[in-house]
């Protein structure tokens, strides 16, 4: 789709270049058509010699619906440098979810420095949680657990709502095989005495230990969960039953089914 948009803008035409990039001329009647036309023009400007200047000099005004179109299927083919130019052009018009999408796309391309470049100027607040979540997951997937943990620690400066992000961190680490990191973080925070983990945190770690085939670690955590009086959920029992069966311990799974 991205290449098609480029061809649509760069193919020979009798129209002048200014009429192609000026959204105020011959604007389609429907909003969707207008967004599509402006998106095609923006993609063309991204492929000029100086995309930042071309975008800032254009008459196209960033708007949420247009950003959504640009973040659609065509964004998969946009290089990191041009994505950053696009995000800078969108600027304050970016919603929380759109900012997170840019951060995720840049992180997917391992352009983590560009992702931070977008995040750092923003004022602290819960609106940054989706962006930090994307960064944490991408770092974990890139086998960079220390960077994921540092990102979480930095996020504490920007938002007081650390519970959700801490769960994201543990989940990302466990899913990518960094269960020991997650377990150490969990134990350190629990031993601080100011935090009592709920069932979802235990569920994530249980799933992580079973995935790495650490049966004794999973059993020990299950014992700790019961000792601490944390009520198990349906997810807890499902994780345990599936885990015990995968470890060829159906006897333990049958015991849970009788409860």
pLDDT tens digit at each of 259 positions of the chain: 444 444 444 444 444 333 444 444 444 446 888 888 998 899 889 889 999 999 999 889 899 999 999 888 667 678 899 999 999 999 888 899 999 999 999 999 999 999 999 998 888 888 899 999 999 999 999 999 999 999 999 998 877 656 789 999 999 999 999 999 999 999 999 988 788 899 999 999 999 999 999 999 999 999 999 999 999 999 998 999 898 888 888 877 777 666 6
Q: What b/e sequence results for 81-106 when a residue is b if at least 16 CB atoms lie within 10 Å of its CB, and e otherwise?
A: ebbbbbbebbeeebeeebbbbbbbbb
> Which three-class secondary structure string do you get for 65-112?
HHHHHHCCHHHHHCCHHHHHHHHHHHHHHCCHHHHHHHHHHHHHCCCH
pLDDT at 9: 40
Task: Return the ∠ at Cα 13 (arms to 8 and 18), rounded to 5°.
Answer: 85
The pTM of this model reads: 0.80
3-class secondary-structure state, position 198 = coil
Contacts of 247 (CB under 8 A, 6+ apart): 210, 213, 215
pLDDT at 30: 67
User: Helices then strands (H, E): number in the chain?
Assistant: 16, 0
User: Of all residues in the chain, what percent are helix, strand and coil, respectively (each to 5)?
Assistant: 70, 0, 30
Task: Give the N- to C-terminal CA distance of the chain in Å, as an integer.
Answer: 54
Asked if residues 171 and 183 have their Cβ atoms less than 8 Å apart, the reply is: no
Q: What are phi and psi of 233, to 5 degrees?
A: -105, 175
Task: Return the ∠ at Cα 116 (arms to 78 and 104), rounded to 5°.
Answer: 45
């Amino acid at each position: 789709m991205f290449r098609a948009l480029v061809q649509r803008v760069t193919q020979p035409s009798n129209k002048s270049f200014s009429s192609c990039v000026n959204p105020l001329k011959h604007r389609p009647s429907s909003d969707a058509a207008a967004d599509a036309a402006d998106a095609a023009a923006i993609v063309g400007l991204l492929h000029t010699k100086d995309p930042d200047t071309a975008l800032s000099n254009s008459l196209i005004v960033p708007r949420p619906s247009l950003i959504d179109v640009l973040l659609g299927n065509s964004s998969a083919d946009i290089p990191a440098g041009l994505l950053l130019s696009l995000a800078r052009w969108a600027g304050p018009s970016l919603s929380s979810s759109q900012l997170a999408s840019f951060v995720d796309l840049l992180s997917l391309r391992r352009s983590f420095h560009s992702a931070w470049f977008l995040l750092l100027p923003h004022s602290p607040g819960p609106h940054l949680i989706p962006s930090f979540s994307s960064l944490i997951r991408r770092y974990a997937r890139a086998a960079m657990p220390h960077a994921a943990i540092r990102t979480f620690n930095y996020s504490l400066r920007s938002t007081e709502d650390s519970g959700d992000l801490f769960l994201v961190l543990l989940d990302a680490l466990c899913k990518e095989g960094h269960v020991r990191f997650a377990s150490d973080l969990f134990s350190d925070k629990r031993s601080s005495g100011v935090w009592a983990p709920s069932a979802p945190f235990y569920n994530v770690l249980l799933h992580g230990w079973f995935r790495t085939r650490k049966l004794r670690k999973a059993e020990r955590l299950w014992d700790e969960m019961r000792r601490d009086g944390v009520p198990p959920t349906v997810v807890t029992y499902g994780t345990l039953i599936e885990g015990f069966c995968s470890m060829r311990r159906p006897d333990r799974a049958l015991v849970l089914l009788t409860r």
